[in-house]
Amino acid sequence: MTLEEFNALPPEELRKQLYSCCSSVNWAEKMATLIPYTSPDHLLNMAERCWHKCKEGDWLDAFNGHPRLGDIESLKKKFRSTADIAKNEQSGAAGASPEVLEELALGNKAYEKKFGFIYILFATGKTAKVMLSILRIRLNNDLQTEKIMAMVEQNKITKLRLEKLLV
């Protein structure tokens, strides 16, 4: 859709579209109050500002809106509502060997057990092996560092999804 069409969306549809980009209700609500956006750059700039004003609980809400990296079946089943906007984000995992996907699944479990939330990575353009390598490195982080890392990655994902939303 165009920016003009985005700005003209009815409030509930606007929130739905924003929520498809980032599943933090607080972030989507903040963004909805800033309509109209004057340019795509204005939209992206405000998205980042609103994200950085969010609190840890908002970050966790957003993280919970993602499938586990490499879990292709989870992507298909659980996340149908964001499928269009999120398509190809994990395309690097689609052609991975079963062994790499299994290692990624085990790494995801270890990550979630250690940090209490799923592994968030801006996966666009990354192979499953690269995702796995980054996961192994990030497993060495402490909780506070990892929350910040995941928050930064979520911001990248949200901005890409907003860009995809607009024609």
Q: Which residues belong to the active site? A: 66
Please count the CA atoms within 13 angstroms of the CA of 148 that sit on its side-chain side. Answer: 4
Residues 140 and 115: beta-carbon distance below 8 Å: no
Sequence-ordered alpha helix ranges (H) in the chain:
3-7, 11-21, 25-32, 40-53, 56-64, 72-78, 83-86, 91-94, 98-115, 128-138, 143-165
Token pair belonging to 115: 């940090």
Q: Distance between CA 33 and CA 29 in Å, rounded?
A: 6
Say which amino acid occupies 70: G
Residues 53 and 21: beta-carbon distance below 8 Å: no
